[in-house]
Amino acid sequence: MCEVIATVLENKKIAENVYSLTFYVDEEITIRPGQFVMIGVGAYLLRRPIAVCMAEGGRVTVCYQLKGGGTKFLSDNYKAGEKLSVLLPLGNGFYVEEGEQKVAIVGGGVGVFPLISAIRAYADKKDVYAYMGFRNQNCVCMEYEMRRGKSLVIATDDGSMGYHGTAVQAFMDDYEKIKPDVVLSCGPTPMLRALKNAMEGKGIPVYVSLEERMGCGIGACLVCVCDKTDGKHARVCKDGPVFEIGEVKL
């Protein structure tokens, strides 16, 4: 992990309330799919955690939804050429074992963005089946990147595009057909809960990336602690954000 002063290359709106920010880092950095960055925003004391969506040759892209003051400030003030203070790469990221050939990817809301990094990492070597859920068609973005795998199902809550329903429902409809070896997921907690229930007893590893409020992002402040099913606790920023689904309470 290191702190870098990156140069903003582009910061543009790509869907309703969603921006894509690409910055250049003049250092050799290896970023795993599922890892995240902490971005310093103006005079805000706490950096904002955002998942890495794409990383290639010093160019890093994150996609963020406008939520509160920090993300609004980021969208308004960081144009091409501006400098950005970033901590990266953070967290453990996704791992897929050698023998796990069929990889199902199930994402919802802003959870689709870290999963794009997984699609990009595994599309050439594995059979990647992606199920991505959005509120409606105006929220759908990065479709080209999500299509890199073997198949993509876009699901919308209101049926305005693709499958009418959630990404988990779309995935479970296809489950017997694809019989995945491993599932990677990220999205709102109710979605992860639904996935956990649906996958109960199937005997297939399911890895989920969690989102918690963060202070430091590097394991020091304990703001991001989550409950584990064994009664212990874990720091989402340092021990996660990716956990085996049975390991954490949802």
- Interface residues with ligand FAD (CB under 6 A)? 36, 46, 48-51, 62-65, 67-71, 110, 113, 211-214, 241
The yes or no reply on residue 235 touching ligand FES (CB under 6 A) is yes
Of the candidate residues 116, 214, 226, 250, the single one contacting ligand FES (CB under 6 A)? 214
Q: Which one of ligand FES, ligand FAD, none is in contact with 39 (Cβ closer than 5 to 8 A by kind)?
A: none
Of the candidate residues 165, 188, 215, 246, the single one contacting ligand FES (CB under 6 A)? 215
Q: Are 174 and 127 in contact (CB under 8 A)?
A: no
Q: Is 179 helix (H, G, I), strand (E, B) or coil?
A: coil
Q: Name the helix (H) or strand (E) containing 178.
A: helix 167-178
Q: Which one of ligand FES, ligand FAD, none is in contact with 220 (Cβ closer than 5 to 8 A by kind)?
A: ligand FES
Of the candidate residues 118, 128, 216, 245, the single one contacting ligand FES (CB under 6 A)? 216
Instruction: List the beta strands (DSSP E) in 40-192.
Output: 48-51, 54-56, 59-65, 83-90, 102-108, 127-134, 151-156, 163-164, 182-186
Helix-helix angle 189-199:167-178, to 10 degrees? 30
DSSP-assigned beta bridge partners for residue 60: 23, 55
The yes or no reply on residue 217 touching ligand FES (CB under 6 A) is yes
Of the candidate residues 31, 74, 192, 237, the single one contacting ligand FES (CB under 6 A)? 237
